[in-house]
Amino acid sequence: MAFSFSPKLGIDLGTTTVLVFVPGRGIVLNEPSVVAVSVRDNKILAIGNEAKEMVGRTPDEIIAYRPMKDGVIADYRVTEAMLRYYIRKALGKWNLFRPEVMISVPAGVTSTERRAVVEAATKAGAREAYVVKEPILAAIGAGIPIHEARGHMIVDIGGGTTDVAVISLGGIVASTSVKCAGNAIDRAIADYIRKNFNLSVGDSMAEEIKIQIGSAVPMDEELQMTIKGRDHLTGLPRSIELGTNEVVRAIGRELRTMVNAMKDVLQETPPELAADIIDNGITMTGGSSLLRNLPELVFRRTGVKARLGKDAPFCVAKGTGEALKHLDAYKKAIITKR
């Protein structure tokens, strides 16, 4: 075996979060995929945590925005700068070798979008860039034996996309990707509060509500939370009490879209594999799969048991690490270069 000096990095390039995994060290970076840019000279001012602090709090000449939209590159230049920053930060500035980088992309990605990711990574300093579809990495990270001849269903719910796939023999048999996930849920909560309480709340407040009291199905013992925002009519700050079941009502449509995506994939699945899925259940990964009672909702609507993967938010990142460790074994099955 030839010893190679080039370090390896796995990057889960999400719409809301970027995770960087280094084999042997685990997840070394977990930062929001936000970049702050100054309008005047189009210069990048801050990336990641520093930039997220600025969201919604910046003067007009600074915009903080997300270069990834629905899991794919919306702004090429900024994504490249972001990747360069994360690669440098993960490897430390004394590293002289260009790393091999594996990056996750949504299952529904087009070849043009895939090329954009490879190109951005190479320009950002990668020696080799591999792109792998998220559901496969999520399955590897969740410990699913993807190479066996059995059907496994994986649902990866992130910030921008929900990826649903049935995997057998290391490949995707049926899959779909809908642009409805954590961010859509946050928006639905904010809209609901605006319509029903005349109160404007920011994105981070909406996310906080989802995490603190959100649920996918109504609860007998509701959780309560005090919501602070700006009154629509008077323009003054005001607070209200909100309960879990209001949140359930607010996000019903978004959850329906996600569950329908799962149903669509189940309907496309060959009968033998469908039988396996009934036995094995559905594995859910991604940060937004942590919504209270989501597996219960999936079970009620599809009749298939669902469970959360271990360390659900980090499955894709861990999958990149596993795949990098056994690169040769996985090369045939999953990697599409350029």
Q: Which structural domains are found in the chain, ordered by start?
A: 8-137+315-334 (3.30.420.40), 144-309 (3.30.420.40)
CB 81 within 8 A of CB 44: yes
What pLDDT is attached to residue 58? Answer: 65
Written as tens digits, the pLDDT of the chain (338 aa) is 444 567 889 999 888 888 999 988 889 989 988 888 888 887 888 888 888 887 666 677 787 777 777 666 777 778 888 888 888 888 887 777 888 899 988 877 788 888 888 888 898 888 988 888 889 999 999 999 988 889 999 999 998 889 999 999 888 999 999 989 999 999 999 999 999 999 999 888 999 999 999 999 999 999 999 999 999 899 999 999 999 999 999 999 999 999 999 999 999 999 999 999 999 999 999 999 999 999 999 999 999 999 999 999 999 999 998 888 877 776 665 555 44
What pLDDT is attached to residue 338? Answer: 41
Buried b (16+ CB within 10 A) or exposed e, 11-47: bbbbbbbbbbbbbeeebbbbbbbbbbbeeeeeeeebb
What pLDDT is attached to residue 55? Answer: 67
Phi, psi of 294 (to 5 degrees): -65, -45
CA distance 64 to 336: 32
What pLDDT is attached to residue 4? Answer: 53
Q: Tell me the pTM.
A: 0.87
Please, which residues have CB within 8 angstroms of residue 223's CB and are 6 or more apart in sequence? Answer: 212, 213, 215, 243, 244
What pLDDT is attached to residue 163? Answer: 92
Residue showing tokens 């049926």 = 174
What pLDDT is attached to residue 331? Answer: 66
Please, which residues have CB within 8 angstroms of residue 3's CB and are 6 or more apart in sequence? Answer: none
What pLDDT is attached to residue 333? Answer: 56
